[in-house]
Amino acid sequence: MSAPGKLPRWAELGLLPVINLVVALLISGVVIKLLGESPVAAFKLMAAGSVGTQEGIGYTLYYATNFIFTGLAVAVASHAGLFNIGAEGQAYIGGLGTGLVCLWLGAWPFWAVLPLAVLAGAGFGAAWAFIPAYLQAKRGSHIVITTIMFNFIAASLMTYLLVNVLIKPGQQSPESREFAVNAWMPSATDVLARVGVTFAATPLNLAFGFALGAAVLVWLFVWRTRWGYALRVAGENPAAAVYAGIAPPRVIIGAMLLSGALAGGLGLNELMGSQHRILMDFPSGAGFVGIAVALMGRNHPAGIIVAAVLFGALYQGGSQLSFDMPKINRDMVVVIQGLVILLCGAMENVFKAPLAALFAKFGAKPGVG
């Protein structure tokens, strides 16, 4: 029996997100109009600001790097049937690991600091995810609740550490001293200069490459390994997993460790690559944007990269917009981002049924999938 709402695969993966995005922008346009600005001019400004210049592109990809890490984190957990809302906290604590390595071992050569910083970031993030994972696997505490709570605990812990322990002596603002230059992630400008390309100075750095590498590894892991297979079985049908001799508690813990480790990659970009110090609230919501990115990217690494770049462009274009249009302030940009998250993430299937009806009406054969 064909259930209503079956769409051809290309429409499901390609057309539907575009429709959602367009509707979100249309609603945003109405709001901009109500504020007395021209929507067309506003969107032109956003586009120009995010992808129109080298600076724009640099910033867009710099933001996207964070979203790729957190999007992958949410996606891996999601394949195991877990809704990890804690990428924010895992990224925060993971960043602490990276930051500590950079602070303490900054005198070491970069090639020695880098692997340790990566491992520390992944390890700290994974450790922070382990506690909710263990509670879910062995005690049945719902992972959504525990990961939310662990975001708050992470924030409090980091505030304590920054205010009381890591703060640079004789300074007012709660942040650590700057990392030694050896522990800085090479910027895109420097890297490209080596191969003879001049690129504008932006916070974009080598961490973007790590994010892309992580996406490839996640793809390999989920679809090409026995563990990934077990993870997907447990996520799709826990009863079938037990039947097949796959222990769901082990999958839950393994998937969350991996998820936390991926979220921990954010520190490479934000701390090692851009801020060069540990500071308050550096994930600034990327963990939550990761949820929307994973939803929009259908939990597939390729989709996540596309969605992350889109959200990066929204962030960068939004900053440009609030800078250039006096009537549109920072909060209005958050409204636009919120609408995109709402329509592409939370309400992703709203237009699915009407679209499917349209396809059925015009005789397009529903494909498999």
Partner 1 sequence: MSDEAGSATAPGRNSDGAAGAARAPALELRAIDKRFGAVHANRAISFAVAAGSIHGLIGENGAGKSTLMNIIYGFHRADAGEILVHGRKVDITSPQGAIAAGIGMVHQHFMLVENFTVLENVVLGVEGGALLAGGLTAARRELEKLARDYGLEVPLDSMISELSVGLQQRVEILKALYRRAEILILDEPTAVLTPQEADQLFKMLGRLREQGKAIILVTHKLREIMAITDRVTVMRQGAVVAEVMTKKTSPRGLAEKMVGRAVLLQVDKCPATPGVALLSVTDLEVRDRLGVPRVKGVSFELRAGEIVGVAGVAGNGQSELLEALAGIREPSRGEIRLGGRELVREQLDARARRALGLAHVPEDRLRMGVVASFSAEANAMLGYHDRPRYGRGLFLDGAASLAGCEAKMKEFDVRPAQPALRISAFSGGNQQKLVLAREIDADPSVLLIGQPTRGVDIGAIEFIHRRLIALRDAGKALLVVSVELDEILGLADRILVMNGGEIIGELARAEATEEKIGLMMAGVRGEGGA
- Which residues in this chain contact partner 1 in the complex, by CB under 8 A? 1-2, 4, 6, 224-227, 229-230, 232-233, 236-237, 239-240, 242-247, 360, 365-366, 368-369
Nearest to residue 263, comparing CAs of 151, 364, 346? Answer: 151
Minimum Å gap between C-beta 246 and partner 1 is 8
How open is the CA angle 207-57-317, to the nearest 5 degrees?
115
| Residue 15 CB partners (closer than 8 Å, separation 6+) | 355
Minimum Å gap between C-beta 212 and partner 1 is 21
Minimum Å gap between C-beta 134 and partner 1 is 20
What token pair was written down for 53? Answer: 């210049």
Q: Which residue has the tokens 């813990």?
A: 253
Minimum Å gap between C-beta 280 and partner 1 is 40
Three-state SS for 201? coil
| Residue nearer to partner 1 on the CB measure, 22 or 242 | 242
| DSSP 8-state secondary structure symbol assigned to residue 6 | -
| Residue nearer to partner 1 on the CB measure, 81 or 132 | 81
Q: How far apart are CA 97 and CA 156, in angstroms?
A: 16
> How remote is the C-alpha of 22 from its chain's centroid?
22
Cβ atoms of 271 and 282 closer than 8 Å: yes
| Residue nearer to partner 1 on the CB measure, 174 or 248 | 248
Minimum Å gap between C-beta 300 and partner 1 is 14
Minimum Å gap between C-beta 79 and partner 1 is 11
How open is the CA angle 234-293-6, to the nearest 5 degrees?
65
**C-alpha gyration radius of the chain:** 21
| Residue nearer to partner 1 on the CB measure, 41 or 353 | 353
Minimum Å gap between C-beta 363 and partner 1 is 9
Query: 281: left (phi > 0), else alpha (psi -120 to 50), else beta?
Result: left
| Residue nearer to partner 1 on the CB measure, 80 or 341 | 80
How open is the CA angle 306-310-316, to the nearest 5 degrees?
140
| Residue nearer to partner 1 on the CB measure, 163 or 242 | 242
Cβ atoms of 74 and 291 closer than 8 Å: yes
| Residue nearer to partner 1 on the CB measure, 225 or 329 | 225
